[in-house]
Structure 1
Amino acid sequence: MTFVPPDIGPPWARPLAGRLDVHAIDSPALRGNALGDPHVRPLAVYVPPGAEDAGALPVIYVIQGFTGQLDRWAARSTLRPTYLELVDDLFADPAVPRALVAHVDAWTSIGGSQFVDSPATGRYATYLCEDVVSFVDAHYATRADRDHRGIAGKSSGGYGAMVNAMLRPDVFGALATHAGDACFETCYLHDEAASVRALRESYDGSWENFLADLRSRPAMSKGTDGDILNSYAMAACYSADPDGTVHHPIDPATGVLDDEVWARWQAWDPVRMAPRHAEALRSMRAIWIDAGTRDEWFLDLGAQAFRDACETAGATVTHFELFDAGHGGIEYRYPLALRHLAERLAAATFR
C-alpha cells in the first residue's frame, strides 16, 4: 500500500506502533452480483500495539465513502498524516482502550454500494454483516458479540453505518457517522437536477449513453461525471426492481419528480428509518454524529435531522457536533470517533 520503504522515514513513511494485516475475503454474498464486480475483496485489519496482551478485543468496522476503495486509506494529503497514521497515533496512546479496526472494501464499478443489498449492485449489507464480520471473528481474538462491535464511516460510509446499525442491531452495537447521507431532500435532489440537465445536454437524456461514454474514457474526466454517476448509483441502491431494473426519481425527459420512485428513496433515508428502528437505536452503546457546517451536500442538515430522529425515538446520542469545515478533508475527525467508540465498546456495562 506504499511505494516507499518504511525505513526511509517521515514525511514519506514511518513504522507503525501497531500493525496492518491485509487479507483477501472470498464473499459468498457477492458471487454473481449484477455488475460482475469481484467477489474476492481486500480487508485491512489494524491491530493496535499491546493487542497480544489485551485478550479478546472489540472491533470497529470502518467503511468507505462513495467512489472509495480500500487502498485509498493509505493516501496522503498535502502536509497531513495519512488516515492510517492517524489511527496508529490514536492507539499509540496507552490510555485508549485496545480495539481492532477492520477496514472494509465495498467498491463497485458504478462508484459504490451504500452498504445495502440491491439486485442492481449486489448484496453488500450481507457481505459486510455476515462475510466480513464472521471472517474477523474467526481470525482474531475478538469479543464476538454486538455489544463489542461498532461501525463508522464518512459520507456514504456514514450512511452505511447508520443504516446497518439500524437494520442489524444483532451485529453492531455502536455507530459513528461523519457527514453521512441523510435527509434526502436536502442532500440528493440538487444532484438529481444537475444530472438531468447534463443527460439532456450531452447524452440525449439516456443513462445508458452516459455509462457507455464513461467506460470508454478516463473516469471523472468530464465535469458532470460526478453528479451523474452519484445519481445513477443511488438509484441502483434505493430503487431497483428484483430483476435489476433501475428507476430514477426525476424523469430526464421532463424534469418532473416521480413521486412513487422518490418514496422508495425516502424509505431508505436514515431520518425516516429511525422511527421504524427505534428499538435498535435505543440499544446502541454509542451514537456519534458530526458534520461540517459548510458541507457542500448540506449533510450538516442531515446530521441535525438524524440526531433529532434518534432522540425522538428515545435513543441517546452520545456525541453530536457541527464543526467548521466542508465535506472533504475531514479525516482528522475519524480518530475522535474511533476513540469514542473504543471507550464505549470496551466498557463492561452500558448505561
Structure 2
Amino acid sequence: MNLTSTSRQQSSVNRLLFMLLLIGAFGLAFLEGRGQSNSMKTGTVERIKVHGNSLEGNLAGDSPDRDVSIYLPPSYQTDKKRRYPVIYFLHGFTDSDDKWYGLTKHWINLPNVVDKALADGKSQEFIIVTPNAYNRYFGSMYSNSVTIGNWEDFVATELVNYVDSHYRTLPQAASRGLAGHSMGGYGTIRIGQKHPEIFSSLYLLSPCCMMTSLNGPSNPEAIARMENVKTVADLEKADFGTKAAFASAAAWSPDPTKAPFFLELPVQEGKPQSMVLAKWTANAPLATLDQHIDQIKQLRALAFDAGSKDVSIATNNKILDKFLTTYSIPHTYEEYDGDHINRIGERIAEKMLPFFTTNLSFERSRTAKKR
C-alpha cells in the first residue's frame, strides 16, 4: 500500500468531517438564534396627545394638550379580542415621558425593561401609560393648582377615561395600577390614597416630597439663589434645588396675583413664610395620611421602596412604613443597596412588574363598564 496516498486520503476525510461538523455547528447556532429571537417578543410604543380640560387656562401658559407615551404589549396587535390591565406610570422631576420610553436618550428605557421581564417570565402583559408632566416649572408634582392646572384630576379622571375609550383595557379599578419614580412616586401616593375607586394597587419607587420642613429652607446660599430668580430666564439657568422649590410653590402655594411665576415661595427677604409652609405641609403625604386611612384600606395592594444611599427618601419611607403598620394596613416596604436612580430598571423588572402581576386582575368583572 502507498502510505503517502493513504495519508492524503485520510487528510481529505478529516477535512470533510471538519467541514460537516462546522456546518452543523453553524446550523445549530442559527436555529438557536432564531429561537431566541422568536422568544424575545417586543411591545410597541405609541406617543399620542390627550387634551386635558382640567389643565385649560393654567397661568403658567402650558398647553392642555399633553403628550402621552403608551406601551402596548407584544400580543396587543395580534390578539384583537384580548383586554389588558393598565399600569399608569408617572415620571420624575425634570424628566418627561419620551425619556422613559426610549424616544430620547436617557438613563432608563422602560419598554426594554418590560420586554426583558416578559421574556424572563417575571411579568404578565400590561398596557403602560405615562403622561408628559414636564412643564414651565420642570414638573407638575401631579397636583391641582391654578398656576399649573389640575394635574391630579387629569391623571385620575381624564387620562384614565381616554385610555379606557381608545384602547382594549379592562376598565375597572381592580385592573388599574398606579406607579411612579421620585416625583412620580409622590404623585402615586398623592393620587392613589384618594382614589381607590380608580386605582386598586400602588407601587412607589423612591418617592420624593413625602414631608416638608416646618421651618422652611435654612441654607442661606440656597435661599439667596431662590430669591435671586426674577425672570423666566433666571429660572431656566437655576440649579436643581431652586427649580424644585419653584415647582413645589407653583403646585402647592400658587398666587394668581404674582406675575410672572404666579406663586409664593416659602421665604421672603430671607424670612420663612409660615402660611406658605403650612400649605406645603398640607400637600405632604406623611402629614395627610391620617385623613385618608379609610380610602387607603380599600386598596388591594401597596408597596414602596428606596435605595439605602438615597438617605432622606429612605428615611421618609421608614416613617410611612410605621404609619401603615400603626393602622394595620397591609403593605410591602423594602430598602435596598442603591441610590436614587442606579437600580430603578432592576426594581421595575424584579419587584414592580411582579407586584402588579400578582395584584391586578386579568379578568373582567361582571360589573365593569362595557366599551
Q: Deviations over 1:252-310 (max 9, x none)?
A: x23x33332212111111111111000121111221100111116x1111111122222
CA distance in 1, matches of 2:166, 2:119: 23
SS at match of 1:306: helix
1:301 and 2:322 equivalent?
A: no
Does structure 1 retain, via aligned residues, the 8 Å contact 2:69–2:98?
Answer: no
1:287 to 292, 295, 302: 302
Which of 6, 24, 43 is 1:18 aligned to? Answer: 43
Equivalent residue of 2:54, what SS? coil
Sort the Cα spacing of 1:171 and 1:241 in 2 relative to 1 into closer, same or farther, 3 A. Answer: farther
1:134 maps onto 2:161 in alignment: yes
RMSD: 2.6
Mapped pair 1:342 → 2:357 = yes
Q: Does 1:320 align with 2:347?
A: no
Partner of 1:161: 188
From the superposition, tell whether residues 95 and 325 of structure 1 become closer, same or farther in structure 2 (CA, over 3 Å).
closer
Distance 2:166 2:131 in 1: 15
Kept after mapping to 1: 8 A contact 2:215/2:277: no
Q: More displaced, 137-146 or 332-341?
A: 332-341
Structure 1 residues 113 and 188, CA gap change in structure 2 (3 angstroms): farther
Alignment check: 8 A CA contact 2:122 2:354 kept = no
Instruction: Supply the distance in 1 between the matched residues of 2:73 and 2:215 (Cα, whole angstroms).
Output: 38
Cα offset for 1:250?
A: 2.6
Aligned-partner Cα distance in 1 for 2:136–2:127: 29
Deviation at 1:330, TM superposition (A): 3.1
Instruction: Return 5+ residue gaps in structure 2 as ranges.
Output: 1-39, 365-371
Aligned position for 1:238:
252
Please give the alpha-carbon distance, in whole angstroms, between the structure 1 residues aligned to 2:112 and 2:106. Answer: 12
What is the number of residues matched between the two proteins?
A: 316
Moved more, 101-110 or 84-93: 84-93
- The structural deviation recorded for 1:187 is 11
Give the match for residue 6 of structure 1: none
User: 1:82-133 CA deviation, whole Å, 9 max, x = no partner?
Assistant: 2220012123345622221112211111111111111111111111112211
Q: Is the 8 A contact 1:195 1:231 kept in 2?
A: no
Select the structure of larger CA radius of gyration. 2
The equivalent of 1:3 in structure 2 is none
Question: Which amino acid in 2 is paired with 1:119?
Answer: V
For 2:136 and 2:255, the matched residues in 1 are separated by: 19
Match of 2:143? 116
The question of whether the paired residues in 2 share the 8 Å contact of 1:119 and 1:242 is answered with yes
Residue of structure 1 equivalent to 2:342: 329
1:77-88 alignment runs, 5 A limit: 82-88=109-115
User: Cα 1:193–1:158, aligned 2, differ >3 Å: closer, same or farther?
Assistant: farther
Deviations 1:42-79 (A, max 9, x none): 2121111234547322110001101111111115567x
From the two aligned structures, give the one with the greater helix fraction: 2
- Alpha-carbon separation, structure 2, partners of 1:242 and 1:170: 32
2:216/2:272 contact within 8 Å kept: no
Asked if the contact 2:308/2:338 (under 8 Å) is kept, the reply is: yes
Matches within 5 A, 1:50-65: 50-51=75-76, 53=79, 55-65=82-92
Mark the CA change 1:301 to 1:193 in structure 2 (over 3 Å): closer, same or farther. farther
Q: For residues 142-162 of structure 1, what are the alpha-carbon distances to aligned partners after superposition, in whole Å with 9 as ceiling and x for unaligned?
A: 111112111111110000000
